[in-house]
Structure 1
Amino acid sequence: MRELMVRLGIGKFPFSRAIVPTQLSLLALLCLGTPLMAQAPTDSQLPTTSTPLVTSPTITTVLYVNPTTGSDQPTAGKTDAAPYRTITFALQQATAGTLIQLAPGNYTEQTGEQFPIVLKPGVVLRGDENSKGANFLIQGSGLTPSKAFGNQNAAIRAANSSEIRGVTVTNIVTRGTGIWVEDADCMIANSTFTNSNREGVFIVGNSSPVVTDNVFTKNSGNGISITGGARGVIRNNVFNATGFGLAIGGNSIPRLEGNQITQNTAGIYMDGSSRAILRNNVITDSQGDGIVARDNAFPDLGTADSLGNNTIRNNGRDASRKGVDLNNTTNNTFQAIGNNIDPKRISGPVAFVAGGTNTAFSDVQGHWAQQYIQALASQAIITGFPDGTFKPNEPVTRAQFATIVSKAFNPAPRNPAVNFSDVRSNFWGFAAIQSASRGGFMAGFPGGTFRPDQRIPKVQALVALSNGLQFGAGDPSALSRFQDANSIPGWAASPIAAATQRQIVVNYPTVGQLTPNREATRAEVAAFIYQALVNQGKAQAIPSPYVVGAR
């Protein structure tokens, strides 16, 4: 990796255990030497898992190009027998709905091309998709302006609703990119990206492309770089013998599915606040890490409702790089549900759950708390009953709540042990009660009792989370969110205000009705616990209209 960075003109930096520099994000490093014109756009919303729609243009005109036999004359280009010579000239004639059909050959400056080749909206550039562009080489570079990164060296610049199909793209100049995609929804399919100095494809801004069935190999930097607020789908591609298979940063939220990411310097590098969704990928045999995450990056490696089905194994082939299959250097805890990963080859906080975990309780389908319940069940924080039910509307005892807290947060002892008179050492919940008590989550009653079988009211559950997670004093104005704020006991007002500010409180069916002294249900406890994990950076937010938002 050090040699790779030097070759890219970046220089030498101290390295962490991961195979990437700790001082600067990869995408920022890759752009050294170009003026930074603007910050990447922000995006606080997590994506759905549906495929973004890139509408293929309706072809109304076909223009033919042949770099050997063609002629850039206005009368040419209409037939295969009398083609244009250059893509550049064909684009000058093209309008939306035009297919530019290439003949085999090399499309370079020597054959008259002007780089970068800038596509027009609704135009399709096509070579041969069956061979993934073999013998249809587009090689060259020119400056293209980027709102995010200043002038960049690119061979091709995509446009909205444009398509690039069945070509081979190479850019050998310093910091050279094959295709630049900025603020464009486009299709890149059945092509080969090889021997570029930096990456095959760079996706930035509010782009949402579909990149499918391509080969990325022997690029010095990355196969694909994704940053800014980009989304899109990266599907069924091969990344082999390149730098990073994919480098994902900024606030981008791409969906990666069905890709073969093998024998690279590293499989996937994530930084910034990126939130890549990974499904059905194979990430193996990297020299360093299979996946490495820095800063506040948070990959989605599977949920209870949508298993990851990723195979991430046999990475760290170069012993000097000390790589692992999944290297989490962030302070977040990742969920990895339903993947083929060796738990011994994971570094950093990861809630690892193998595939096949049964979280499909028969009585939570369509329930308002279904996603909270299934997410916690997938991590064995909560469990159901032998008959396959969860009984979401049943109450929770104080001993049961202590058990859930102990599993969810594994609290470090902050208080001395208390020998509660009604909790014997052979009681089933003894260890969990001690854990919750010593961790500052729960306390006993006057007289030295704990009352383990007492049903816990909502007010106690929320105060326990606020105290145990050390939220501190809350802003009293936060209680104005509740129509029944006067029902909150005085001793609980400040911790409940703090929990409200941190969006721990979930009220169903009326978001403004707390009913603090009512017994908490199993569903409500699941929601509170999950929201607390989100607050601690240990879970991904689940959109719900019943979360009481902070003011």
Structure 2
Amino acid sequence: MAQTFYVNPVSGNNTNPGSQQAPFKTITQALKVATVDTKIQLANGNYNAASGEVFPLTVPSGVTVVGNETNKGNGILIEGSGSYLSRTFAAQNVTFVLLDKAEVRGVTVTNLASRGSGVWIESTAPTVANSTFTNCKREGVFTTGEANPVILGNVFSENAANGIAIAKNSKGQIIDNTCLKTGFGIAISDTASPTLRDNKIYENRSGIVISGSARPVLRNNVCENNTDDGITVIGTALPDIGSTNNLGGNTLRNNGKFNLQNASSNKLVSVGNKIDTSKVTGNVEFADSSVPTPSSPTTPIPSSPTAPIPSSPTTPIPSSPTAPIPSSPTAPIPSSPTAPIPSSPTAPIPSSPTAPIPSSPTAPTPTPTIELTDITNHWAGGFIRELVKLAIVNGFPDRTFKPDATMTRAQYAALLVKAFNPSPNRPVIKFKDVPADFWASKVIQQAYQGLFLSGFPDNTFAPNKNIQRVQVIVSLVNGLGLSADSATVTKTFDDQAKIPEYAKDEVVKAIDKGIIVNHPNVKQLNPTRDATRAEVAVMVYQALVDADRVAAINSPYIVA
């Protein structure tokens, strides 16, 4: 039976019946008594923990939470976060969880928690409409599993990582949304196949990023004035951007690096789109119906609740896969390496708190993901698999990863350049043991200029020397300009005395950020032991977690 409950955070009381004359005080109370076909009408005001809300707010099947759809929720701010255990991504910080056929309409949602998501949709088919998502610390809406939502007419503004993230085998209709001033406007990964129609995506880092083996359908979207790319395609992804019987109608223009970057292993066929082809890279075929379009004024920015623009939006940045690099000087270097390198114990890197979050590579050259045969039951297997999906690491030709092997400083340079693509922050240096034709000379130089690595006092780099665990820690902290909330070591290791003096501050910062991994004994740091490939992979992954670029993975070996 259809019914309506009313909520007012100022004049309401949870002992009231929830009528218009005697409203509830909290959404939490209304959800407790709601049944199928219940509408929960929100008055203007702030809904947060201080007003009595308990997060996450789980909207049951067939229940609608509605504020004011005409102004996209202006004046109705729902701000908060609670822990949600996802079946596909483990523990998450979430404001709303939407069950099947639930609806959220006409509200403003903010999640200020670390890696916070506004709405979490997992294997359900809800509706999110005419709302505003702003200043969430990861993304506005995240869909995963077998999700099949309708996301319609929303504004996603100034979120730290993505406006909308669509993962796993999600489908759904993403229609008439505006995504601006965030990391990626819309990020589509894994085997997701949503339909994106009539969306306006501008002034982000990149507009739409499609990775994994995703197969989205794009129609009548506008991607313009993004700092990097309008649309980026990597991995084995293959978006439908038009056919002779169903024109694409997408407009891509005025983007900083590329309007369309195809770094996937597939050829894209563009039919009926308006694309400034002077900024197109990769294997793209333009059919006759595709016409270049000149630059046009920026799409006007819709009004939304004020929120500070993240100074350095962070998000999973798709990049080309990095096959494990052999130490042989004849080993080929990836065509677009992007990563950083750690410094030696005798030449620690000065901290660089102002170092910017690195930008994405301009022309990655990925290869299809393969299933690695030696990480199935390995303690670091989950982390390695995720890095493979992101095309940051890859296996050897025999389909192994060799997780317990060591890694050279040159190999580490190539890996981190892939992961972070650091911008130059100091002049070029010429190491006397890194000739110009050395396979890793470019990545070593980029890692050095990006403050991730330094050489030795004798002007050598020792590219074929193994990287130590403490050097990995120092390089990540300094290269990313990380700081700590505490000034002293909060964790005492059994081998605390073995931490080199130059690295003590960096270890504190790395503990604070959850970057250090100790296997098999979490109390044993082993700072000067050569790092294994698995340990390097996990610590790099944890740095990406701290940067809000990937989801956290639970592990008993992470020092926290």
TM-score range with shorter-chain normalisation?
0.5 to 0.7
Q: 2:11 aligns with which of 42, 46, 69?
A: 69
Q: Which residue of 2 aligns with 1:215?
A: 155
> Is the contact made by 1:279 and 1:302 (CA closer than 8 Å) also made in structure 2?
yes
Q: Which residue of 2 aligns with 1:154?
A: 94
> Is the contact made by 1:340 and 1:354 (CA closer than 8 Å) also made in structure 2?
no
Q: Which residue of 1 aligns with 2:262?
A: 328
In structure 1, distance between residues paired with 2:211 and 2:290 = 30
Per-residue CA deviation, residues 44-66 of structure 1 (Å, 9 max, x unaligned), is: xxxxxxxxxxxxxxx70000000
In structure 2, distance between residues paired with 1:199 and 1:298 = 23
In structure 2, distance between residues paired with 1:130 and 1:342 = 35
Q: 2:279 aligns with which of 345, 349, 368?
A: 345
In structure 2, distance between residues paired with 1:356 and 1:173 = 43
Superposition pairs for residues 141-540 of structure 1, below 5 Å?
Answer: 141-316=81-256, 323-355=257-289
Classify the secondary structure of the residue corresponding to 1:196. coil
The amino acid that maps onto 1:326 is L
TM-superposed deviation, 1:241: 1.0
In structure 2, distance between residues paired with 1:172 and 1:243 = 16
Classify the secondary structure of the residue corresponding to 1:294. strand
In structure 2, distance between residues paired with 1:355 and 1:124 = 42
In structure 1, distance between residues paired with 2:85 and 2:272 = 42
Per-residue CA deviation, residues 331-353 of structure 1 (Å, 9 max, x unaligned), is: 21001110001222111000112
> Is the contact made by 1:133 and 1:166 (CA closer than 8 Å) also made in structure 2?
yes
Per-residue CA deviation, residues 343-376 of structure 1 (Å, 9 max, x unaligned), is: 221110001124279xxxxxxxxxxxxxxxxxxx
Classify the secondary structure of the residue corresponding to 1:305. coil
In structure 2, distance between residues paired with 1:216 and 1:356 = 29
Superposition pairs for residues 36-47 of structure 1, below 5 Å?
Answer: none
Classify the secondary structure of the residue corresponding to 1:82. coil
Change (3 A) 1:354 1:174: farther
TM-superposed deviation, 1:276: 1.0
Classify the secondary structure of the residue corresponding to 2:41. strand
Runs of 4+ in 1 over 3 A off after TM superposition: none
The amino acid that maps onto 1:66 is N
In structure 1, distance between residues paired with 2:38 and 2:290 = 49
Greater shift, 346-355 or 96-105, is seen at: 346-355
Classify the secondary structure of the residue corresponding to 2:187. strand
The alignment-based identity, stated in percent, is 44
> Is the contact made by 1:156 and 1:178 (CA closer than 8 Å) also made in structure 2?
yes
The amino acid that maps onto 1:349 is N
Give the TM-score of the pair, scaled to structure 2.
Answer: 0.51
Q: Which residue of 2 aligns with 1:136?
A: 76
Classify the secondary structure of the residue corresponding to 2:258. coil
Per-residue CA deviation, residues 56-110 of structure 1 (Å, 9 max, x unaligned), is: xxx700000000011111x420x21200000001111000110000000000000
> Is the contact made by 1:275 and 1:299 (CA closer than 8 Å) also made in structure 2?
yes
In structure 2, distance between residues paired with 1:99 and 1:250 = 35
Structure whose alpha-carbon radius of gyration is higher: 1
Per-residue CA deviation, residues 303-347 of structure 1 (Å, 9 max, x unaligned), is: 11100000001101xxxxxx2000111121001110001222111
Q: Which residue of 2 aligns with 1:83?
A: 23
The amino acid that maps onto 1:269 is V
The amino acid that maps onto 2:103 is E
Classify the secondary structure of the residue corresponding to 1:338. coil
In structure 1, distance between residues paired with 2:277 and 2:232 = 15
Matched, 1:60 2:2: yes
> Is the contact made by 1:339 and 1:354 (CA closer than 8 Å) also made in structure 2?
no
The amino acid that maps onto 1:205 is G
Unaligned stretches of 5+ residues in structure 2: 292-560
Change (3 A) 1:253 1:221: same
In structure 2, distance between residues paired with 1:356 and 1:346 = 13
> Is the contact made by 2:98 and 2:119 (CA closer than 8 Å) also made in structure 1?
yes
The amino acid that maps onto 1:355 is S
C-alpha RMSD of the superposition: 1.1
Per-residue CA deviation, residues 379-414 of structure 1 (Å, 9 max, x unaligned), is: xxxxxxxxxxxxxxxxxxxxxxxxxxxxxxxxxxxx
Classify the secondary structure of the residue corresponding to 2:273. strand
Number of positions where the alignment pairs a residue of Structure 1 with one of Structure 2: 291
Q: Which residue of 2 aligns with 1:8?
A: none
